[in-house]
Chains A and B, each alone.
Chain A
């Protein structure tokens, strides 16, 4: 194994020598016989299937019980690297929540001319129904998933923020669980910070934002769209680990000032709802009237302080790809600090200069839909054929303000098990930041890996895999 391809930062190497955090792993891999690796890989797969962690891929049909590929080679951060990331992530989470509080209140940042009003108030995710409501502790987004990429030893960029209901945390937990079960020796030889406190921290976070009318210990629930949802496993997994009920809309009803769930011993009041359904489906009386997933009257109870909804309706306005470009500005405006983590340079196609530049340089850029997610509706210029680029060009021309463009980053790679042995593959990182009375971050996150050689798309819906993510303690 060597330092990998030219141009891409390989996280395992410094020049030709193995970096400290990977030293023991490198030995471990070096002494592992091929057949042992294959045996362990099969074992891991059997464990995943048995536990039932599967991922249905949107729009592909086929096997709904498909497994997300798991790579046994962990990705490692040393303590100093992680501390910097942690500070940057928490800073960003504070700024995003301050922004939400502002734009549903007086809108100071807009009055100050730092963000165009149109981008906020005409945003699809901006929810007029919650203007003027300040949720408990002023927190709108309680679980923020921040997608990071690395391009060099000390170069990290934020790719996007997820303020609504970021998924994938169950993989962070299960990947660790399975690694510990299969390779206990590795964990004895390396001092790795644990992540399994996440469910308890999440529950604590949810309880800390109980509504004003809740006087006892708050009852929290997870609201799922149901077992047909591709993330249903994660919903039931978290409910199980937190010891809270997993409810569907039909299990809840509004009576007077409160929300109740239907139980075998009669109605039971619900104080905090960690919802995993989108805003438009929350309450058919307030949003989409054809929604069967939500709870009629929920928003009235929310407005009058009878229940907390996490994340708050309307939180999505902060994680839009157009708003993204202004997050460094938010950090300066609300916190009076300089951003610790950088944004990726972004061209917004509704500006004439940007539009011109992007259209002239399409083959070198990554173009994304403003509201797209999951790796759909994007163009990776350098990886696309002429035809694909021209096809995409016409889509942009039809609706330029629907797109942003970014340079093609030279994503870092991590050693990854592949058919032929071990090879570098591109990775990203999604840590999960919890915001309640405190801001917490477990040392770790979900590392996604693009398993196809040279591919930059790590989304699980596009054939990406996952890795265990280690933070070494001092």
Chain B
């Protein structure tokens, strides 16, 4: 397979997942601001979202002070924000168009419809749109595309590359969403363990469409330890760090098997190493280490895996 084709498939997966993350971030922000809050007011919560998605700088330069409307515009519609829903879906569709022949018509249809619908939403006056429907739109359509991929695509290297993109991006996204919590709480450490604290954890769960799953898995109260355990170390949780990384390893193994020993597998080796390191930890160790420090380490490791994928497969040995 051409390296460029693989690259487009990989990034198509990443951008679709990233679009979903942007929508979920919007949802988290929206719910957090509904709380009777800390003395820093709304701005603090919204800033925390931008911090977590790594786009605070871009936002500040373009919009200055944060308001809910500006942030919604920025996270959902703004093409100057490379991580906005619109940016990501446009890029995913562009990648898909370039590698049209590597996609089934079902996948292309789903992707193209998502894009066409999004164009329609863009033309709708903003006051007619509410945050919840924007989030639902995004998660609904990206699920359709993912479903089409897994129901109709050949299980060949292209499929592995798409899913590799998805799983690495998802691991990254969950880590970043968890980090939002860190930023929100940072200024007022005395809130830890309070009612507000557990409400915020619940918001994170909701944003990951995981609050019901959490109750099935753990029953009872929402505590920081359990939620973090669910989203980091629980292998049943579909968006946990460990599940996402496990899938990435699985797809990298698939590629290594397919391509044989002549093609370097440094990305697989690295991903395995990170997975091992995750499996050695329990949630107490992570809290002792510091949640933020742990997440920063993890996000850094993911970036290394991604760079190695590039090096192993996407340069074409030139």
Contact = CB atoms under 8 A, between A and B. Distances in A.
Q: State which size class the interface on A falls in.
A: 20 to 34
Contacts of A264: 1-3, 6, 157, 161, 255, 259, 263, 313-314, 316
Nearest to B316: A262
A24 interface: no
B98 A227 contact: yes
Given A251-B2, A262-B3, A266-B262, 5 more contacts: A239-B101, A261-B316, A266-B263, A266-B316, A267-B318
A67 to B, nearest CB: 15
Given A52-B108, A251-B3, A251-B4, A265 B101 contact: no
A391 B315 CA distance: 54
Contact of A263 (B1, B94, B97, B101): B1
Contacts of A50: 105, 109
A265 B263 CA distance: 6
Contacts of B263: 264-266
A70 to B, nearest CB: 19
A246 B101 contact: yes
Contact of B101 (A240, A250, A267): A240
B212 interface: no
Contacts of A428: none
A392 interface: no
A260 interface: yes
A443 B2 CA distance: 34
A251 B263 CA distance: 18
Contacts of A248: 4
Interface in A233-282: 236-237, 239-240, 245-248, 250-251, 253, 255, 260-267
Contacts of B62: none
Contact of B2 (A237, A253, A255, A263): A263
B100 interface: yes
A375 to B, nearest CB: 27
A49 B3 CA distance: 29
Contacts of A246: 101
A269 to B, nearest CB: 12
A253 B318 contact: yes
B156 to A, nearest CB: 11
B100 A251 contact: no
27 contacts: A227-B98, A236-B100, A236-B101, A239-B101, A240-B101, A245-B2, A250-B4, A251-B3, A260-B316, A261-B2, A261-B316, A262-B2, A262-B315, A262-B317, A262-B318, A263-B316, A263-B317, A264-B1, A264-B2, A264-B3, A264-B157, A264-B161, A264-B255, A264-B314, A265-B1, A266-B263, A267-B316
B148 to A, nearest CB: 14
Nearest to A51: B105
A218 B6 CA distance: 23
Interface string A198-241: 00000000000000000000000000001100000000110110
A99 B4 CA distance: 39
A450 B157 CA distance: 46
A251 B108 contact: no
Contacts of B100: 52, 236
A247 B157 CA distance: 18
A263 B3 contact: yes
B98 A267 contact: no
Interface centre among B109, B161, B255, B317 (most CB of A within 10 A): B317
Contact of B317 (A52, A227, A245, A267): A267
Contacts of A251: 2-4, 316
A46 to B, nearest CB: 12
